[in-house]
Amino acid sequence: MSLNVGVIGTGMIGQDHIRRLTRVLSGVTVVAVNDMDQARAQAAAPAGAKVHPTPDALVADPDVQAVVICSWGPAHEEQLLACIAAGKPVFCEKPMVTSEAAALRIIEAEVAFGRRLVQVGFMRRFDADYRRLKAVIDTGTLGAPLMYYSKHRNASVPEGLYTSDMPLNDTLVHDADISRWLLSDEVTGVEVRVPRRSSRGKDLRDPVLVLLHMASGALVDVEISVNIGYGYDIRGEVSCEAGVAALPNRPAAVVTDAHGIRQAIPEDWRERFIEAYDQEFREWIVAAGQGTATGPSAWDGYAATLVADAALRAVDSGRLEAVGMIAKPALYS
Ligand code: NAD
Ligand code: ISE
């Protein structure tokens, strides 16, 4: 039995996910697509897939058993609520939503439905390197984690489309989520410092330095640079009581020539996390086939949204901004 999926948003990552759902993974068929740019949807639709005029029409299509949302962050709330109302499992790219109030509405709807339907696209949790790093920390042999250094460097971002708030409410959500997951901890406060701007991003607030205060007392230091130019460079190092555990350098051929000895680094997130995206969908397909969801939840989407909101407040106030969560509903325990 193949899971029939509809994809909303056929831009960069929508096209990449359609490629993996049609050419890489088994047990799944893309039967419908939608994009507010109809021509883009037409071009991205796999052979035989319907092109729906609206997201609502796609969600209501009786042939669509589960939905993948790859539209822009501000559009996610309405599309997620439509999926929950229809009782259809849904994979939603990050950020789940772009405000605390919207995140609470998703949680309220899913809790009222009574079963998990939402998986959020925090693909780092499915990356083999991050999984090995977490396994080391979880054994406890290095003692308690005290500090985590997260480097999040993009070669470039789309000019005009990527705004100054986005390092904090679009990019930082990955670091917020992976910090909570790696350290099995919660963020209680956020500070932001803005150093000298990179001239490569023109007027963009880039880079930013973020300090996450965790409930355990651990501190997480995050560098977000979105116009570093040389490639997509993701690093992580956890400093514990009795040792340090870090992500490894990515395997790549060692090239020696007149310029020296070097290894290529990924161009962008598609290349760096290719296996992680495959794995997050493998696990999503299994759960969605059973009418539910596993992996990063609406609760995790909510937690990351709170960090983004606090970071935006912190950049204006220059102070430590508190993060306060509601009591965790039993659905997410
Ligand atoms: P994009 O601009 O390339 O594509 C977004 C597409 O969504 C566009 O084609 C646009 O027309 C369409 N769209 C926007 N609003 C819509 C609506 N209301 N209804 C229907 N279609 C709509 O952007 P992208 O880079 O593909 O990013 C899409 C989402 O995926 C964003 O939320 C982004 O943060 C996330 N993303 C996640 C990762 C990751 O590593 N997990 C990487 C890239 C992007
Ligand atoms: C993009 O949307 C992603 O999610 C990438 O993983 C991240 O590195 C990038 O900064 C975002 O713009």
Over the chain, what is the mean pLDDT?
Answer: 97
CATH number, domain of 112, equals 3.40.50.720
pLDDT at 306: 98
The DSSP code for 144 is S
User: Are 84 and 140 found together in one domain?
Assistant: no
> Would the pLDDT of 115 be above 90?
yes
Say yes or no: 187 and 97 in one domain. no
Choose the residue to mutate in 35, 54, 232, 267 for probing ligand 1, maximizing ligand atoms within 8 Å of C-beta: 35
Ligand nearest to the CA of residue 12, numbered in listed order = 1
Cis peptide before 251 (omega within 30 of 0): no
Q: Which domain holds residue 41?
A: 3-123+275-297
Same structural domain, 92 and 171: no
Question: Both 176 and 315 in a single domain?
Answer: yes
Are residues 224 and 116 located together in one domain of the fold? no
Same domain, 94 and 196: no
Can you list the alpha helix ranges (DSSP code H) found in the chain? 12-19, 38-44, 55-60, 73-86, 100-113, 128-139, 166, 172-183, 269-272, 274-289, 298-317
| Confidence check: pLDDT of 1 > 90 | no
Q: Helices 298-317 and 100-113: crossing angle, nearest 10°? A: 170
Q: State how far the alpha carbon of 250 is from the alpha carbons of 129, 130, 175, 230, 235, in Å.
A: 9, 12, 19, 15, 10
Q: Is residue 240 part of a domain?
A: yes
Residue 333 in domain:
no
- The C-alpha atoms of residue 265 and residue 158 are separated, in whole angstroms, by 20
Q: What residues does ligand 1 touch, defined as CB less than 6 Å away?
A: 8-14, 34-37, 40, 55, 70-73, 75, 93-94, 121, 123, 170, 269
**pLDDT tens-place string over residues 68-106:** 999 999 999 999 999 999 999 999 999 999 999 999 999
Please report which confidence band the pLDDT of residue 202 belongs to, taking 50, 70 and 90 as the band edges.
confident
**237, burial (CB in 10 Å: exposed 0-12, middle 13-18, buried 19+):** middle
The model's pLDDT over 189-201, given as tens digits with 9 standing for 90+, comes to 999 999 999 999 8
Alpha-carbon gap, residue 111 to 97, rounded angstroms: 17
Please give the tally of structural domains in the chain: 2
Query: Quick one: 83 and 147 in the same domain?
Result: no
